[in-house]
Structure 1
Amino acid sequence: MNKSCISCNHHNHEEIDVHTTCVSLVPIFNHLEDEQMFEIAKLAKSKKYKKGEYIYQPDDTADSLYIINKGLVRIFHLTESGKEQLVRFLNPGDFTGELAVFRTSHHDSFAEAVKDTTVCMVTREDLQSLLSKYPAISLKIMEEFSNRLDQSEKQTTLVATEKVEARLAMFLVELLEEGEKEVILPMTKKDLASYLGTTPETLSRKLSSLEERDLIKQVTNKRIIIKDADTLLLV
């Protein structure tokens, strides 16, 4: 075997190692045996995106499952008036494009790399053959659908609430872990404003208002102490 072939094989093994790591991060796959995950890793392809690049846009064909290996991805819609409506962030181990498993469709949102990002992709055809071989994956995907529906309903409730302060209060209390008083915002204030259906300026004013009323304390840009969760929910 010549040197170029040895180099090629070495590269392929390295790629499969990366894909195995990627696949093992994902809840819909990480319950499988190592050999089964390795089988999925061999089907995966990886692609790198620079900060600001789109992984997909509305009307692009949805024909693959995208798994975030490294980096951060932002999923958002554009409203009729052209404003961004944040849907969620995807961290390493999170995935998007799962509808491609069940039907041929088109994306209706944007997936943007917030920083340099590496994504592993598994095509619809490969996914369907995996589902027939390992039915447990289907159950995990349905579980994820259920989680996302729950998150979507919570966001709809927030945006449908008339007062921005009430939306903000519900969001902050939702972040509170049992027995804790401090929350860490999972996104920038600009993105939080988009998520809550308001402007960054209004969000800043409402945070200041809640602080003046001694309901919260802003420790840093992202760290907030909730002083009185029960009263906060009554604003």
Structure 2
Amino acid sequence: MKKDTTHHDHSVESHKACVSLVPIFNHLEDGQLDEIMGTTHSVSYQKHELIYHAGDESNALYIVNKGKVRIYRLSESGKEQLVRILNPGDFTGEMALFSESTHETYAEAMVNTKICMINRLDLQEFLMKYPSISLKILAEFSHRLDASEKQSSRFATEKVDTRIALFLVDYLDKEISGTDELTLPMSKKDLASYLGTTPETISRKFNELEDRGYIKQLTHKQIRIVDLDGLLFV
């Protein structure tokens, strides 16, 4: 269950900012946003605090208002597998929209984080009233399924060097800076968990890619892609 260190924030401005930030809601009109806002409440979490555990009842949609959240699974042996990282505007807990269930993953605040929550019954009512929300959620499901299948395929068929190279290329594509530089969205420990390897291997492979002239490590997290074509064929 959630720790006692959480506290509730009922500021209207916070709710409005949170709801209007989310891609599944930001296409709605102001009156519709106000309606959703009225059912939303905010909860703040400290860095490293668990928002929910695997096995907890899943009965709400969690929207990141401020901060960053890591979603991960634990294997039977206790090994962690990072699923994804949520930034402001991202959400989790969407399976609660369709049935009563329990969480299969863990959600942890990576920094001090503020979450907006909408309970399942309220959200189901909005889905019936505003079908466009359902379409937006289905689009996000499709995106996550595609990412999950791509990740599983790479685990099964690609060596670690290739997984790292493809991650860098994919992430560079998502950057809107228009440059050949990117900032890693997570620590090397989390990147290792996401790519199915160890932090030591990540550091070693980054150094190897740099020695081979494919990348330049500018800081601990900032990387310049020197040879994009070469990186594609690692």
Residue equivalent to 1:62: 58
**1:160-179 residue pairs with structure 2 within 5 A?**
160-177=156-173
Residue equivalent to 2:193: 194
Q: Is the counterpart of residue 226 in structure 1 residue 222 in structure 2? A: no
Deviates more, 1:50-59 or 1:173-182: 173-182
> How far apart are residue 131 of structure 1 and its match?
1.1
> How far apart are residue 116 of structure 1 and its match?
1.2
Alpha-carbon distance in structure 1 between the residues aligned to 2:164 and 2:11: 43
Alpha-carbon distance in structure 2 between the residues aligned to 1:152 and 1:44: 29
Alpha-carbon distance in structure 2 between the residues aligned to 1:71 and 1:209: 33
**1:1-235 residue pairs with structure 2 within 5 A?**
15-177=11-173, 180-235=179-234
Alpha-carbon distance in structure 1 between the residues aligned to 2:159 and 2:217: 21
> How far apart are residue 80 of structure 1 and its match?
2.7
Q: Which runs of 4+ in 1 moved over 4 A?
A: none
> How far apart are residue 125 of structure 1 and its match?
0.5
Deviates more, 1:100-109 or 1:225-234: 225-234
- SS of equivalent residue, structure 2 residue 133: helix
> How far apart are residue 79 of structure 1 and its match?
2.0
Q: TM-score, normalised by structure 2?
A: 0.90
Q: Gapped runs of 5+ residues in structure 2? A: 1-8
User: Which residue type is aligned with residue 212 of structure 1?
Assistant: D
Alpha-carbon distance in structure 2 between the residues aligned to 1:203 and 1:31: 40
**Cα deviation digits, residues 110-144 of structure 1 (max 9, x gap):** 00011111111111100111111111111111011
Q: Decide which structure has the larger Cα Rg and report it.
A: 1
Q: How many corresponding residue pairs? A: 223
Alpha-carbon distance in structure 2 between the residues aligned to 1:43 and 1:150: 31
**Cα deviation digits, residues 149-168 of structure 1 (max 9, x gap):** 12212222332234111111
Alpha-carbon distance in structure 1 between the residues aligned to 2:184 and 2:157: 20
> How far apart are residue 15 of structure 1 and its match?
2.2
Residue equivalent to 1:3: none
- SS of equivalent residue, structure 2 residue 11: helix
Q: Gapped runs of 5+ residues in structure 1? A: 1-11
Question: Would you say the 8 A contact 1:158–1:170 is kept in 2?
Answer: no
User: Which residue type is aligned with residue 213 of structure 1?
Assistant: R
Alpha-carbon distance in structure 2 between the residues aligned to 1:116 and 1:18: 15
Deviates more, 1:27-36 or 1:181-190: 181-190
- SS of equivalent residue, structure 1 residue 43: coil
Q: TM-score, normalised by structure 1?
A: 0.90
**Cα deviation digits, residues 59-108 of structure 1 (max 9, x gap):** 11110001111111110111232111111111111111111111111100
Alpha-carbon distance in structure 2 between the residues aligned to 1:183 and 1:176: 6
Alpha-carbon distance in structure 1 between the residues aligned to 2:146 and 2:184: 20
> How far apart are residue 211 of structure 1 and its match?
1.1
